């Protein structure tokens, strides 16, 4: 299973890079942090863009786990 996940990641990474290169307008990035019920903190970085066909899309570029809780400060 880990091998399949790794191969899938590489395929989708290249696909997203291609779509971002063809974006019609500027790329817009957002970030969000939250803490799960088991006290694990996460941070996600998302890109929003309009593709070459005029369709609004978004993609998660990063999802990172942090060792400490996110308190919102």
Place of tokens 């593709």: 51
| pLDDT of 11 strictly over 60 | yes
pTM of the predicted model as reported, rounded to 2 decimal places? 0.76
Above 70 in pLDDT, residue 4? yes
pLDDT in tens, 16-66: 999 999 999 999 999 999 888 888 899 999 999 999 999 999 999 998 988
The two counts, helices (H) then strands (E), for the chain are: 1, 3
Q: Domain map of the chain by residue range?
A: 2-66
Nearest to 23 by CA among 56, 68, 46, 65: 56
Burial of residue 17 (number of CB atoms within 10 Å: 0-12, 13-18, 19+): exposed
Predicted confidence at residue 66, as pLDDT, reads 85
pLDDT at 34: 87
């Amino acid at each position: 299973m880990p091998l399949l996940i790794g191969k899938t990641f590489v395929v989708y990474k290249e696909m997203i890079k291609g779509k971002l290169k063809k974006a019609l307008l500027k790329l817009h990035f957002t970030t969000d942090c939250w803490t799960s019920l088991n006290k694990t903190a996460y941070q996600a970085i998302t890109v929003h863009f309009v593709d070459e066909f005029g369709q609004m899309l978004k993609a998660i570029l990063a999802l990172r786990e942090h060792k400490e809780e996110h308190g919102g400060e």
